[in-house]
Amino acid sequence: MNNFQYKRVSSPIAAITELAKDPAAKLVAGGTNLIDLMKYGVMSPDKLVDVNHLNFNEIVKQDGSLHIGATVRNAVASANADVLKYQPLLSQAMLSGASPQLRNKATMGGNLLQRTRCGYFYDISAPCNKRQPGSGCGAMGGYNRMHAIFGASSSCIAVNPSDMNVALTALDAVILVTGPKGDRKIPISDFHRLPGTHPELDTTLDRKEIITGIVIPDNAFAANTTYIKVRDRASYAFALISVAVAMELEGTTIKDIRLAMGGVAHKPWRLKEAEQMLKGKQASVENFKMAAELAMKGARAYEHNAFKLKLAPNTMIQALKTASGIKA
């Protein structure tokens, strides 16, 4: 790890100023991702600006939405009574990520910005367009079992590893940010990017902006949500495939539904076509299967991840069954 300065700031302005002043500065929150990447030599900021003392640590149920501050710990948010009551999907997704120790440190803002777990991104002796633009993609012709089946480009096939982000995507969350040009609200589906020709950019957040919080609009999904994560062991592993379902049922009719998938793309993958198809339909395994087939349109596999073409729809069917309680 390189030598770096550490600066603790107590106002958003001060944080923004530090970022504006020093292009090699980075914010640090829980540090569970950034410090790891620094130890591997993947990232080497010369200054860490500590956001833990900004006042972004509240969870507030407002009229029409739930607001969660950027520095709220994943452990705190997932156990919060309002989160459990209004957005249980988010809690479930967060609890399926990492370990209790990590969730005690990890923040909402940091989780939104956690970087890919692609082994070639982590190994500084390997080429990686995300780590070193122009150096090539190690994963494309390498070991790509964990990699994307949607939205990849010829420069990057990495996936976003977050569980929380998948739930937030299904819940139409909005990311609140502030920066030199003032405040912005970014819908989560516009927050994370596809790799295109610039895989070094994970999100649309400007380098000088900071996340202050997340807003989730109220919905009528709480009774029928689920997050299913398929992984290589029972806990403490990243998703091979994960699916978030939030649905509103009227009897056995699907009045409204949100679907998002993890482990499949450079960003949490919203399944709008499948949602459209299911809306107004009967909750039945037959319809779930049709929706899952639709969801897989455009999927493309690489040498080691072809199984995802089957595991993804299977997991989606399972998630729909679990969320609806419909078994047949």
Ligand X SMILES: Cc1cc2nc3c(=O)[nH]c(=O)nc-3n(C[C@H](O)[C@H](O)[C@H](O)COP(=O)(O)OP(=O)(O)OC[C@H]3O[C@@H](n4cnc5c(N)ncnc54)[C@H](O)[C@@H]3O)c2cc1C
Residues that bind other proteins (CB under 8 A): 1-3, 41, 117, 119-120, 122-123, 125-126, 138, 141-143, 145, 228, 230, 232-238, 240, 307-308, 310-311, 314-315, 317-318
Residue (16 or 291) nearer to ligand X, CB: 16
Give the dihedral sign, CA 296/324/83/314.
Answer: negative
Query: If residue 60 lies in a helix (H) or strand (E), which one and from where to where?
Result: strand 59-62
Beta-carbon contacts of residue 123 (< 8 Å; ≥ 6 apart): 40, 138
Q: How many CA atoms lie within 13 A of 39 on its CB side?
A: 6
The yes or no reply on residue 179 touching ligand X (CB under 6 A) is no
With contacts defined by CB under 6 A, name the span among 4-12, 28-36, 57-65, 82-90 that binds ligand X.
28-36
Among 70, 140, 278, 291, binds ligand X (CB under 6 A): 70
Among 162, 178, 225, 315, binds ligand X (CB under 6 A): 162
Residue 203: other Cβ atoms inside 10 A: 18
Residue (171 or 249) nearer to ligand X, CB: 171
Give yes or no for a contact between 254 and 247, defined as CB atoms under 8 angstroms apart. Answer: yes
With contacts defined by CB under 6 A, name the span among 58-66, 100-108, 244-252, 282-290 that binds ligand X.
100-108
**What is the Cα–Cα distance from 26 to 207, expressed in whole angstroms?**
9
**What is the Cα–Cα distance from 53 to 8, expressed in whole angstroms?**
7
Nearest residue relative to ligand X (C-beta): 110
DSSP class of residue 115 equals: P
Among 12, 69, 88, 97, binds ligand X (CB under 6 A): 97
Give the binding site for ligand X (CB under 6 A): 26-34, 36, 51, 70, 97-98, 102, 105-107, 109-111, 113-114, 161-164, 210-211, 238
